[in-house]
Amino acid sequence: MVANDILIFNEIPKGKPVPGQTTVKKQEEFDLDQSLPDGAILVKTLALSLDPYMRGRMRDESIESYVPALKLHAPIENFAVVEVLRAGENAKFQKGQKLYGYSKFQNYSVIPKEQAESLRVLENKEGLPWTTWVGSAGMPGQTAWYGLKFIGKPQKGETVFVSGAMGPVGQVTIALAHAAGCKVIASAGSEEKIKYLREELKVECAFNYKTEDPNKVLADWNQKEGRPFSIYVDNVSGAQLTAALAHIARRGRIVAIGSVVDYHGEQHGIEGVFQVVAKELTWEGFLVLNRMTPELFEQFYAEVPPALASGKFARPKEHVTIGLDNGEAFAALFDSEASNFGKAVYSFE
């Protein structure tokens, strides 16, 4: 028997998630020698991803949405890297393999056959930390990659504006934009993040959306460059989207990825929507899980993890919590005062 920490979805939040209330850690005993159902595998968790979309899963199960609701009083689940301790009767897996996909927020789990078969074996020839495989080299990285490549369609010499820039989607967007020969305007919510964006990620313009007016920053940039920025990768919506609509170039592209300002109930109006018509903008939202085909996954894995490993893309900044907490690491995603500095992950190594 070993001790198994488990993070439980305890209560549907009214606004922002509250650690110890919305989510509660408990400990149970786990039998590493238990008999496994047909095709099930027994795994140890190495890394777990904390993603803003999980807030939307914390709802009443009767409310329909694009992802199923989490089960109340059951373990939280999300993207993970796990190590196979016992492959049981499942010939597809071997002890010691590292797998990427959905798993429960607990140290040890038994993954049923059908779910196990959906997991991807990570060879990790690149030697990246396991946490990176749920971040820049995982679902958030795929989101940035798909959004910029297929909706943003960057051309050399253009400028890309990205909000939520220190999260994993933002960081990969910056790397891809630079690799495409574009300049980058990036926004985030603290001076520490702005310094990092300028000094480590080498963005051409970084601003703190809490202390600076995005309208002024974007207008000044356009004037200085002599041409407006033409792509906005929108992770947050709200006032920054309003400013982007006002200052983006004709025939610009808005990649609608997320709307962090709206995730805990309050809705924020957007002004200037007519600019979509007047400037003939493309404004497209997408769900990465519906867009990534097997061929696109292979393209992504061939391109992004090697670029992260070789240093062509900046080393991902990760906000690592060692072991499970009561949900503080998750709540920080929505706390603009004390938010995560980099990709939020749990590590168990």
Ligand X SMILES: NC(=O)c1ccc[n+]([C@@H]2O[C@H](COP(=O)([O-])OP(=O)(O)OC[C@H]3O[C@@H](n4cnc5c(N)ncnc54)[C@H](OP(=O)(O)O)[C@@H]3O)[C@@H](O)[C@H]2O)c1
Q: How many residues does the chain have?
A: 349
Reading the block at residue 226, the tokens are 């002599």
Find the binder of ligand X among 164, 228, 305, 316 (CB under 6 A).
Answer: 164
Q: Is 261 in the site for ligand X (CB under 6 A)?
A: yes
> What is the rounded distance in angstroms from the CA atom of residue 108 to the CA atom of residue 287?
30
User: b/e for 43-78, b at 16 or more Cβ within 10 A?
Assistant: bbbbbbbbbbbbbbbbbeeeeeeeeebbeeeebbbb
CB 256 to ligand X: min, Å: 8
Q: Is 336 in the site for ligand X (CB under 6 A)?
A: yes
Query: Contact at 8 Å (CB) between 248 and 232?
Result: yes
CB 334 to ligand X: min, Å: 6
Binding pattern to ligand X, positions 206-245, x when CB under 6 A? -----------------------------xx---------
Q: Is 170 in the site for ligand X (CB under 6 A)?
A: yes
Find the binder of ligand X among 97, 115, 124, 190 (CB under 6 A).
Answer: 190
Binding pattern to ligand X, positions 114-153, x when CB under 6 A? -------------------------xx--x----------
Which of 239, 212, 237, 215 minimizes the C-alpha distance to 228?
Answer: 215
> What is the rounded distance in angstroms from the CA atom of residue 244 to the CA atom of residue 64?
31
What SS3 class is residue 260? helix
Find the binder of ligand X among 6, 43, 51, 177 (CB under 6 A).
Answer: 51
Sequence-ordered alpha helix ranges (H) in 263-342: 275-278, 288-291, 294-310, 328-331
Q: Is 7 in the site for ligand X (CB under 6 A)?
A: no
Q: Is 331 in the site for ligand X (CB under 6 A)?
A: no
- Stretch near ligand X under the rule CB under 6 A, chosen from 101-109, 175-183, 216-224, 257-265: 257-265
- Summarize as ranges the residues that interact with ligand X (CB under 6 A): 51-53, 139-140, 143, 164, 166-170, 188-190, 193, 235-236, 257-258, 260-261, 286-288, 333-334, 336, 339-340, 343-344
